Amino acid sequence: MKRFFKIAVALAALALFLAGYTAAMARVGSGTAPDMAPKAEQADALRVDKSERRLDLLRNGEAIASYAISLGAAPEGHKGREGDERTPTGDYVIDWRNPNSIAHLSLHISYPNEADRARAAEAGVSPGGDIMIHGLPNGWGWLGAVHLVWDWTNGCIAVTDAQMREIWSLVPDGTPITITE
């Protein structure tokens, strides 16, 4: 009887997990990105503090929102080459957005800039690219803030899906972003 009870509990837990996963998958790929917030509510700059694992949305120099973030799997130091799993440091711009990203929505950071390309060329390596602010990989949004337990991206800046929807609506293309150590 105990064995039957354990199996029943395990099957019930699996059913609940699959129901949540199915609901999450139904939301993924809906193809609808959030609308942009009114201009007066939008950020005019972004600031990332890698050591504090924080992204701030700024308007007129004041934080209007702050988010805990995950970084590249090797977060210390500036990104030097493709594949080093580092998040770059420096001044960049949000230059385009992807509503059909493999991670729930994404905003592209203009890495590499001229200095990054020159450093990589001097070292004889590719600087890499495709550095984004993004949500969780599609289908994994149910993880929520658990993703903050470790740095797991390939150099990007990750937030929860709900946070990414908010960021998407508040950050227009052309917004400057400063990433500090």
Catalytic center residues: 134, 156
d(CA 66, CA 33): 21
**Quick one: which of 100, 81, 78 has its CA closest to 90?**
78
Length of the chain: 181
Say if residues 71 and 51 touch (Cβ distance below 8 Å): no
d(CA 153, CA 126): 18
